[in-house]
Amino acid sequence: MANHDMNSTPSTFPFFSTAVVYFICLLCIGGVDAMLGPSLIELASNTESSLSQMGGLFTARAIGFMIASLWVGKLFDRFHEHWLIAGGLLLGALLMGIIPVTSSLWVLMFSMILVGLLNGTIDIGGSALLFRFPKEQVSPYMNALHFFFGVGALLSPILLAQSLAYSGTIDWAYWGLAGCMALLSLKLMVTPPPPKKNLSASTATTSAIPWQAVIGAGLILFLYVGSEVAFGGWIYAYAIQFGIADETLAAYLTSTFWAAITVGRLITIPLARRFHPHVILLGNLIGSLGFLSFFALWPDPVIGTWVGTLGFGLAMSSIFPTTLVWVERHVPLSGQVTGFIFGGGSLGAMTLPWLIGQWIESAPSYFMIVVLFANLLIALGILIGFQNFVFKRASLEA
């Protein structure tokens, strides 16, 4: 059982240094996540598979994340949290060694299920542990946590491009990430987790709307994560498929998307101290819809793709961390509840990238953008509905 934090108190616990460890964990996971999209063509060649078959890798990874969302939260509420994260990092290091060299599609699919499992363990775990921090630190640290995810996702395609340029393979990019994950697991094994909060003093509205808030956040993450993973995973193949970029430029286009997300999350860190989460989410979603429209409608497809990719990444950058902070204003987030919310995101990552993958070789160029636009328009409607009707009514009842 998790009695390991008995000797730490909130006043003496090193919150900042512990947060830095979580930031580096998310940097690694961002690298793992973003490496798949630019690797699809190489992995398809290694396994003699089609791009539509490669779309199943996103589904396999999301299945693993879904398993993690169902079980990891419960484990984090009971056992040594940092040892669980360290185990996920060690598993990830092993998988990063296997994925670029396997010639079996089935081995690749199973490996991606395990990648999703480790991603979920680390992502859900890091986010849940941040909610044990002092309240005034949660919002900026949550945005910083996912900022570092974006840093990893930004660097990953660049490492792949350099590995292809100098060795002709993607192997060294994967193996370098494996080494970083193995070293980080050792650090976590000797770092104590933050002490648990007493959740009895929850907000006044919590008793009125516990699961409505959780379901609303899960739905928004379903739509957002599906859109982010689909765009980040398929923009590389999209650019090549429609003659917008060659392989090297397509890798840098992918990095542009993740760079924009990274910069956007950095900008949101100070904004999170000044604005209510639902105001930031409104700006995120409206801006995302605007840049998707630019992407699809600008007459020059090269300019439309590059500017649209940059703007889309900036606009949607803080939806994930801000949604978590938004729901935490109404519901205390234990590991189990956090896992449930993340489950919505993993379902989105499972379905939308797979759907786009089935059509990307035959559908018109605007197909992916229309699907993403519809997704985020629904998310905007859910946000407005929950904020103006469910939450406001619960506050009046309380």
Residues 42-92: pLDDT tens digits? 999 999 998 778 878 988 988 898 898 888 877 887 788 999 999 999 999
pLDDT tens readout for residues 248-284: 888 889 889 988 998 999 999 999 888 888 899 999 9
355: Cα within 13 Å, side-chain hemisphere: 18
274-299: per-residue pLDDT in tens? 888 889 999 999 999 999 999 989 98
Output the CA–CA distances (angstroms, integers) from residue 337 to 62, 183, 257, 265, in the order listed: 19, 30, 30, 24
Average pLDDT over residues 203-227: 75
CA-to-CA distance for 206 and 198, rounded, in angstroms? 15
Model pLDDT, residue 223: 95
> Which pLDDT score, from 0 to 100, does residue 88 have?
92
Give pairs for 38-42: CB < 8 Å, separation 24+. Answer: 38/156, 38/157, 38/160, 38/161, 38/236, 38/250, 38/251, 38/254, 39/99, 39/100, 39/160, 39/170, 40/233, 40/236, 40/237, 41/236, 41/237, 41/240, 41/247, 42/100, 42/164, 42/169, 42/170
Query: Residue 317: what pLDDT?
Result: 92
| Angle at 140 (CA atoms; ends 135, 146), nearest 5 degrees | 120
Determine what percent of the chain is predicted with pLDDT higher than 90: 44
pTM confidence score: 0.77
pLDDT of residue 375: 94
Give all domains of the chain, ordered by start, each with its CATH number: 15-195+204-397 (1.20.1250.20)
| pLDDT over 90 (residue 177) | yes
Give the model's pLDDT for residue 310.
Answer: 96
What b/e readout covers 47-82, taking b as 16+ CB neighbours within 10 angstroms? bebebebbbbbbbbbbbbbbbbbbbbbebbbeebbb
Q: How far apart are CA 368 and CA 287, in angstroms?
A: 18
C-alpha span between 245 and 225 (Å, rounded): 25
Q: Determine the pLDDT at residue 252.
A: 86
Output the pLDDT for position 358.
80
Candidates 217, 238, 229; CA nearest to 258 is: 229
The pLDDT assigned to 224 comes to 95
